[in-house]
Amino acid sequence: MGAKARKTTMKKKAKKLASKISHSNRKDDSGAAADFLPLEGGPARRLPHEDPVENTATVLYIGRIPHGFYENEMEGFFKQFGEVKRLRISRNKKTGRSKHFGFIEFESPEVAKIVADSMHNYLLDNHMLQVKLILPKDVHPKLWNGIDRWYKPQNWAEIERKRHNKEKTLEEHKKLVEKILKRDEKRRKKIEAEGIDYVCPDIYGLVPPAPKKIKFDED
């Protein structure tokens, strides 16, 4: 193919491409401009119009909560954004300690959206807060059960004291004595292995005392 023929072919391709572009820029039958170019040279089509989804989420998940940032502190802090409806911090059932995450609900969805955008990855007491919106369909129906009852942790020192001081049965006492004697025997062997000349005293009340030597007269 000569240079003249190649030049003619390139001109035809350029005209064809320009025709496609001008056709795509023309308005369609409904009188509105097309939203994108056709892929195979067919008529342009409009994209379906989707209305923006209305924000109705008012509940936020808050993770990585530092110790000391509890219900009263959290409510006082987040009140600067808007009215707080309710909140709760997940706690250990035995100790009452914070599990470092909780939930908070605002009266207004707009306030909740602002809090999620501004407080996510916020540095608080060396903790990066994780704040995320929870859609209404994803909120657990029992999430707010019992939030009006403040959790009172059990006094484990008192529980352990009662357990230790309760009257033991004969079988329990026997097991306790065996355990103490076994530990004492292990300690005696360690002392002997080190070559230390030491007489370990008998445990009072557990090991029967050695019988006393009786001295008889020669007669």
Question: Do 67 and 123 have their domain in common?
Answer: yes
Which stretch, 35-44, 87-96, 135-144, 161-170, has highest mean pLDDT?
135-144
Question: Do 189 and 127 have their domain in common?
Answer: no
Mean pLDDT of 51-70: 88
Asked whether 160 and 104 are in contact (CB, 8 A), the reply is no
Task: Write the pLDDT tens digit of every residue in 87-124.
Answer: 999 998 878 889 999 999 999 999 999 999 999 999 99
Burial class for 47, CB neighbours closer than 10 Å (0-12, 13-18, 19+): exposed
The pLDDT of residue 29: 47
C-alpha 70/C-alpha 100 separation (Å) is 10
The pLDDT of residue 14: 67
Whole-prediction pTM value?
A: 0.51
Q: Which domain holds residue 114?
A: 59-138
SS3 of the chain: helix, strand, coil, percent, to 5: 35, 15, 50
Q: Of 1-5, 95-99, 169-173, which range is least confident?
A: 1-5
Q: Which residue has the higher pLDDT, 150 or 212?
A: 150
Q: How many domains does the chain have?
A: 2
The pLDDT of residue 24: 52
Q: What percent of the chain has pLDDT over 70?
A: 68
In a domain, 183, yes or no: yes
In a domain, 88, yes or no: yes
Asked whether 112 and 60 are in contact (CB, 8 A), the reply is yes
In a domain, 102, yes or no: yes
C-alpha 89/C-alpha 150 separation (Å) is 11
Question: Do 171 and 131 have their domain in common?
Answer: no
In a domain, 12, yes or no: no
In a domain, 133, yes or no: yes
Question: Do 87 and 130 have their domain in common?
Answer: yes
Element (H, E) at 176: helix 170-193
Q: What is the CATH number of the domain that holds 111?
A: 3.30.70.330
